[in-house]
Structure 1
Amino acid sequence: MDAERISIAKACQEGAHDNSLSFPEFVGKLIAAGFEGYTVDYRRNAQAFYLPDGDSVVLEMHPYAGSVAANFDAAEVERLVRWAQANPADYSYVAFCEKAKAAGCAGYLVSFLGRRVVYFGRTAETHVEHFPK
């Protein structure tokens, strides 16, 4: 992957972490750079960004407190997504990640093509969220 796209992925990752980019802004920048999606893996503490030609880059993420709970609570993950979408004053991506891990979310796959996010637990249970229109 070329250095410019890696730089964009890193900037988006940092923007999410420090709340300088909203999810729509984050997605918009990645799409504009030609990415078709990404994966967050809380167990590996890594994020992979994918191009349509199969090329990808894996970046380490900031460590988020806590471990991934054994049981996946889809209702809690859905509540966390609604919290993020509302973007209240107490929202932060760091808090979202920590709460998602506590709800048993081991990671998530974002598909720009499919306009959805698939959250998954350690036992491969899933919760699917479609992008808002």
Structure 2
Amino acid sequence: MKPVRIRRWSAAAALGLMLAAPSLPAYAHAELLETVPASQASTTAPKELRLTFSESIELSFAEVTLKGDDDRPIAVERLSLAPYDNKTMVITVATDLPAGAYTVDWSLVSADDHRIEGSYSFDVAP
């Protein structure tokens, strides 16, 4: 064989192996998948909020602020993980929420050791 043919055959073989090999999943940070009450929802006054993420979270590094129409923080009783689910944070509300608009600001560290943060809103109907 001539050297040119060997190089072409090697390149073709390498390309074939790359196309045939299974692709590896892309590495991504945790994402907020679901909230209860749902984002932008109008609901009755919740006793607790639930935030479900795409991967495990470290509760010891979590911070949550619940704010009403006046942008003042509203007390939350505690943060915990849902039973048997280290992807869902449960925020117990300390008081009954009157009708109005509410914003939840959150930040935490996910299992991949990255800090993530975000916010969402919901309304409590009269």
Provide the TM-score with structure 1 as the length reference.
0.27
Greater share of residues in strand: 2
Larger Rg: 2
- The higher relative CO (CA closer than 8 Å, separation ≥ 6) is in 2
Provide the TM-score with structure 2 as the length reference.
0.28
